[in-house]
């Protein structure tokens, strides 16, 4: 299958989710120095390629991957930072179930994507692949965007100090 056909297929699989008003709100949520919407799309794309290559249940896996971080910062205010790592997947699953049809395999993919930080084990091959895809994408984003964002904040901070003193 050509790259163009795969792009069309990927878009057709996720289209209703990315157009959903609630999911669109992830564009305003900061995650690893970019939006959570963008992060979710990357994980979905990597999951799509990996599960399709391995001839797995790639359509459902791709949709679950897109929804794996479907949570909002305001819902997480009740948690400490370490609890956010361990519990955000349950908020994501709750939101996913409220807005879309989620089967048991997809639910397992979403709620175990933080393994081994969460204590529940991935039960399906697709779950293992998605947790791996999330870690690869997150590592890349933390390195590429969060470092740049931190540096940008420091530059603004130093610029303010210099201009205040003048």
Binding site for Fe ion (CB under 5 A): 69, 134
CA 53 to CA 47: how far, in whole Å?
A: 10
Indicate the residue among 69 and 126 with the shorter CB distance to Fe ion. Answer: 69
DSSP class of residue 68 equals T
Min dist CB 160 to Fe ion, Å, is: 33
Label residue 114 exposed, middle or buried (CB < 10 Å: 0-12, 13-18, 19+): buried
CA 23 to CA 108: how far, in whole Å?
A: 20
Indicate the residue among 111 and 134 with the shorter CB distance to Fe ion. Answer: 134
Strands (E), the chain: 30-31, 34-35
Q: Which residues contact 130 (CB under 8 A, 6 or more apart)?
A: 43, 47, 61, 64, 65, 68, 109, 113, 122
Min dist CB 42 to Fe ion, Å, is: 9
Evaluate whether 89 touches 118 at the Cβ level (below 8 Å): yes
Rg, Å, the chain Cα set:
18
Min dist CB 132 to Fe ion, Å, is: 12
51 phi, psi to nearest 5 deg? -75, -30
Indicate the residue among 98 and 164 with the shorter CB distance to Fe ion. Answer: 98
Min dist CB 71 to Fe ion, Å, is: 8
Indicate the residue among 29 and 134 with the shorter CB distance to Fe ion. Answer: 134
Min dist CB 59 to Fe ion, Å, is: 20
Indicate the residue among 98 and 156 with the shorter CB distance to Fe ion. Answer: 98
């Amino acid at each position: 299958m050509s790259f163009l056909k795969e792009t069309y297929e990927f878009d057709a699989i996720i289209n209703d989710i990315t157009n959903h008003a609630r999911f669109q709100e992830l564009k305003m949520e900061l995650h690893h120095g970019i939006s959570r919407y963008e992060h979710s799309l990357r994980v979905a794309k990597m999951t799509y390629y990996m599960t399709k290559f391995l001839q797995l249940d790639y359509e459902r896996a791709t949709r679950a991957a897109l929804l794996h971080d479907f949570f909002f910062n305001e819902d997480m205010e009740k948690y400490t930072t370490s609890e956010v790592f361990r519990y955000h997947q349950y908020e994501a699953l709750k939101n996913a179930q409220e807005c879309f049809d989620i089967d048991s395999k997809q639910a397992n993919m979403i709620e175990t994507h933080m393994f081994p930080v969460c204590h529940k084990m991935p039960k399906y091959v697709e779950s293992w692949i998605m947790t791996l895809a999330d870690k690869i994408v997150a590592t890349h984003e933390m390195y590429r965007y969060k470092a740049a964002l931190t540096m940008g904040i420091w530059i603004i901070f130093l610029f303010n100090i210099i201009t205040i003193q003048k």
